[in-house]
Amino acid sequence: MAYYFDEPSRTFNEYLLVPGHTPASCVPTAVSLKTPLVKYRKGEEECPLSLNIPMVSAIMTAVSDDRMAVALATEGGLSFIYGNQSIEDEAAMVARVKDYKAGFVTSDANLSPDMTLADVVALKEEHGHSTMPVTDDGTAHGKLLGIVTGRDYRLSRMGLDEKVADFMTPREKLIVAPADTTLKVANDIIWDNKLNSLPIVDADDRLVALVFRKDYDSHKSNPNEMLDAHKRYMVGAGINSRDYAERVPALVEAGADVVCIDSSEGFSDWQKITIEWVREHYGDTVKIGAGNVVDADGFRFLAEAGADFVKIGIGGGSICITRETKGIGRGQATATIEVAKARDEYFRETGVYIPLCSDGGIVYDHHISLALAMGADFVMLGRYFARFDESPSNKVMVNGTYMKEYWGEGSARARNWQRYDLGGKKKNLTFEEGVDSYVPYAGSLKDNVDVTLLKLKSTMCNCGALTIPEFQDKAKLTLVSATSIVEGGAHDVLLKDKTPYVSNT
């Protein structure tokens, strides 16, 4: 006979936190959001890899590329670069994050000398930058021949067919700096010479990067940055249970700090085999997350297989229709609570603490607080990050409002068959488990993450907690009735402004 769970499966929206005593010392500025990313012997050793904020970006084509990874690592979180691309392309993205020097920008709007003013105008419209290097082959790393800025042309006086070579500021008039220049020195050159940007070139006069005056200032104000031992940004990468024997070595070689098996359902021999392969070839030096699971049995299986962290969640993603198409899944709150209990039991038995990631279904900022209170150590977000400037998808105008495109890995658009793979010869997606959609454009990652974290810290203080482990220990949670959910919003008043003041919708 089938097994029946006693309780219905519930979502975050059905829970609230009940405040605890707040000591005078418990203020948001004193809260630490540091949280473990990989397993360790709690109480005996330090976690070898921690996040400075409990947020990671989803392993999705529409969310996590190298630009997102740099932006999120700057704030203290981590991106998992999407695996739904060739091994070479994914490794190249990882390498770009590791090579990224804050303030040293690889130019994405470049010209060749035979291009025209019309091309300059088009590029400016596409990228929004007014500084465009001119290189012999029109690429970001070609031989530097000059630069075009807004000061080099006047649209009212010049023909659109004028050649770039005829109006650019030529190389001999440019001040440049060599590749080993530090950001501090680059910034001094910029200020001493009243420049807006400084091209960095290698020994063959090939363009390496541009340094802009404004970036140096912003770099100084990121105390949470996720940096490795060599002061490079940290980055994760998605893998699958098919081509891991080729993909993992390429990602490790490129510098990935952690990998994660990306699968809609992780309670399978395929994940065990993948983890075993990594252990056999790399021991404990390569950290590997696994999932997704939604109950104690699934957790135990992956824990015993050797996962460094376990991801929770099936069917709760905003773009996910797995529950509709296959009838499998579980409410994200119930899944998190049960898996956290199983993790704590495993810890009591073995002394090994396996961090949990609640993945999908975070709609409001307070859902992050709930997930952590329920025992997750960090959360994975797709929709949340897809809304920002830094996500790889297009920003489009829909009915007078700016939107960003956001699509599921199981949608016809992504066709990420490995994520839904159940073995066998077939290598395609037979039916969809995700949709293609728009999400409201929300500006820069930093501005939004700042507000989200402020809300989280404030909630933690309401519960008398200065750290995430303390929060998990002290949190008191209550289920809410349907009627009290109505009470939770503004009610029985006539709103003057109908725009909701929640930032995260």
- Please, what is the angle between helix 244-254 and helix 87-99, to 10°? 20
Q: Rounded to the nearest whole angstrom, what is the least distance from the CB of residue 442 to ligand RVP in the complex?
A: 14
Q: Is 60 in the site for ligand RVP (CB under 6 A)?
A: yes
Stretch near ligand RVP under the rule CB under 6 A, chosen from 112-120, 245-253, 347-355, 358-366: 358-366
Q: Rounded to the nearest whole angstrom, what is the least distance from the CB of residue 1 to ligand RVP in the complex?
A: 31
Stretch near ligand RVP under the rule CB under 6 A, chosen from 87-95, 211-219, 228-236, 356-364: 356-364
Of positions 215, 257, 359, 377, contacts ligand RVP by CB under 6 A: 359
Quick check: is 47 catalytic? no
Stretch near ligand RVP under the rule CB under 6 A, chosen from 91-99, 265-273, 405-413, 443-451: 405-413
Query: What's the rounded Cα separation, in Å, for the pair 132 and 147?
Result: 6
DSSP secondary structure, 408-422, as one string: -TTSTTT--GGGG--
Query: Which residues lie closer than 8 Å to 454 by C-beta, 6 or more apart?
Result: 28
Of positions 76, 142, 266, 408, contacts ligand RVP by CB under 6 A: 408
Looking at 300, 330, 343, 419, which residue is catalytic?
419
Phi, psi of 426 (to 5 degrees): -65, 130
Contact 64, 77 (CB under 8 A): no
For residue 156, with 0-12 CB atoms within 10 Å meaning exposed, 13-18 middle and 19 or more buried, which class applies?
Answer: exposed
C-beta closer to ligand RVP: residue 83 or 142: 83
Of positions 58, 95, 234, 376, contacts ligand RVP by CB under 6 A: 58
For residue 249, with 0-12 CB atoms within 10 Å meaning exposed, 13-18 middle and 19 or more buried, which class applies?
Answer: middle
Quick check: is 213 catalytic? no
C-beta closer to ligand RVP: residue 123 or 312: 312
Query: What's the rounded Cα separation, in Å, for the pair 389 and 128?
Result: 12
Q: Is 381 in the site for ligand RVP (CB under 6 A)?
A: yes
Q: Rounded to the nearest whole angstrom, what is the least distance from the CB of residue 289 to ligand RVP in the complex?
A: 12
Q: Is 365 in the site for ligand RVP (CB under 6 A)?
A: no
Nearest alpha carbon to residue 135 among 177, 98, 95, 107: 107
Pairing of strands 309-312, 356-359: parallel
Tell me if residue 241 falls in helix, strand or coil: coil
Of positions 67, 383, 455, 457, contacts ligand RVP by CB under 6 A: 383
Contact 305, 327 (CB under 8 A): no
The CB-nearest residue to ligand RVP is: 434
Cα 425 from chain centroid (whole Å)? 32
Q: Is 76 in the site for ligand RVP (CB under 6 A)?
A: no
Q: Is 393 in the site for ligand RVP (CB under 6 A)?
A: no
**For residue 399, is the peptide bond before it cis, meaning its omega torsion is within 30 degrees of 0?**
no
**Please, what's the largest Cα pairwise distance for the chain?**
83
**Could you give the dihedral angle defined by the CA atoms of residues 119, 121, 123 and 125, in that order, rounded to the nearest 10 degrees?**
-150
Q: Is 237 in the site for ligand RVP (CB under 6 A)?
A: no
Stretch near ligand RVP under the rule CB under 6 A, chosen from 105-113, 346-354, 360-368, 484-492: 360-368
Q: Side chain identity at 274, as an amino acid letter?
A: T
Q: Rounded to the nearest whole angstrom, what is the least distance from the CB of residue 319 to ligand RVP in the complex?
A: 5
Looking at 320, 357, 461, 463, which residue is catalytic?
320
Q: Rounded to the nearest whole angstrom, what is the least distance from the CB of residue 433 to ligand RVP in the complex?
A: 4
Q: Looking at residue 438, what DSSP letter applies?
A: E
Contact 280, 244 (CB under 8 A): no
Query: What's the rounded Cα separation, in Å, for the pair 139 and 110?
Result: 6
Q: Is 319 in the site for ligand RVP (CB under 6 A)?
A: yes
Spell out, one character per residue from 147 to 176, where the chain touches ligand RVP: x when CB under 6 A holds, - when not.
------------------------------
Q: Rounded to the nearest whole angstrom, what is the least distance from the CB of residue 363 to ligand RVP in the complex?
A: 7
Q: Side chain identity at 54, as an amino acid letter?
A: P
C-beta closer to ligand RVP: residue 26 or 445: 445
Q: Rounded to the nearest whole angstrom, what is the least distance from the CB of residue 396 to ligand RVP in the complex?
A: 18
Q: Is 362 in the site for ligand RVP (CB under 6 A)?
A: yes
Strand intervals (E) in 297-351? 309-312
Stretch near ligand RVP under the rule CB under 6 A, chosen from 271-279, 293-301, 350-358, 381-389: 381-389
Of positions 237, 298, 434, 466, contacts ligand RVP by CB under 6 A: 434
C-beta closer to ligand RVP: residue 359 or 377: 359
C-beta closer to ligand RVP: residue 117 or 456: 456
Q: Is 265 in the site for ligand RVP (CB under 6 A)?
A: no
Q: Is 317 in the site for ligand RVP (CB under 6 A)?
A: yes
Tell me if residue 500 falls in helix, strand or coil: coil
Q: Is 409 in the site for ligand RVP (CB under 6 A)?
A: yes
Q: Is 51 in the site for ligand RVP (CB under 6 A)?
A: no
Q: Rounded to the nearest whole angstrom, what is the least distance from the CB of residue 360 to ligand RVP in the complex?
A: 3
Q: Looking at residue 8, what DSSP letter applies?
A: P
Q: Is 187 in the site for ligand RVP (CB under 6 A)?
A: no
For residue 425, with 0-12 CB atoms within 10 Å meaning exposed, 13-18 middle and 19 or more buried, which class applies?
Answer: exposed
Query: What's the rounded Cα separation, in Å, for the pair 252 and 404?
Result: 31
Terminal-to-terminal C-alpha distance of the chain: 42
Contact 422, 411 (CB under 8 A): no
Catalytic residue annotation: 320, 419
- Chain contacts with ligand RVP (rule: CB under 6 A): 58, 60, 313, 317-320, 322, 359-362, 380-384, 408-411, 433-434
